[in-house]
């Protein structure tokens, strides 16, 4: 195999690995409603951060994925402050 073919195969494999990581992250955290009675918010955010670090996601990627799991009060809160968030 030539060097170019090896790089192409490596890049393709790397891209597939990244897609798998993102897919896992998207499916991993449970929905977060903001309710203190159903799940401890700090515990949920720690879980999300653990996954983020394991997948080596940047802040913007992590915020996008994490907030996609918001529902109920958490979603309403996020819709209110999203435009003010700076990364």
CB 64 within 8 A of CB 85: no
Segment 12-25, tens digit of pLDDT = 676 677 667 666 66
**What was the pLDDT predicted at 84?**
92
**What was the pLDDT predicted at 45?**
86
Report domain extents, the chain.
3-84
The residue to which tokens 């073919």 are assigned: 5
Could you tell me if residue 47 is left (phi over 0), alpha (psi between -120 and 50 degrees) or otherwise beta? Answer: alpha
**What was the pLDDT predicted at 58?**
87
The pair phi, psi for residue 74, each rounded to 5°, is -65, -40
Distance, CA of 1 to CA of 29 (rounded, Å)? 41
Segment 29-79, tens digit of pLDDT = 677 777 766 667 888 888 888 888 888 888 888 888 889 889 999 999 999
**What was the pLDDT predicted at 6?**
46
**What was the pLDDT predicted at 31?**
78
The pair phi, psi for residue 22, each rounded to 5°, is -65, -45
């Amino acid at each position: 195999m030539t060097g170019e073919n090896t790089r192409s195969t490596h890049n393709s494999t790397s891209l597939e690995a990244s897609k798998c990581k993102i897919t896992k992250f998207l499916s991993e955290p449970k929905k977060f409603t903001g309710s203190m009675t159903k799940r401890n918010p700090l515990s949920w955010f720690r879980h999300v951060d653990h996954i983020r670090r394991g997948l080596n996601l940047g802040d913007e990627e992590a915020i996008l994925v994490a907030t996609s799991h918001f529902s109920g009060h958490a979603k309403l809160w996020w819709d209110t402050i999203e435009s003010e968030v700076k990364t």
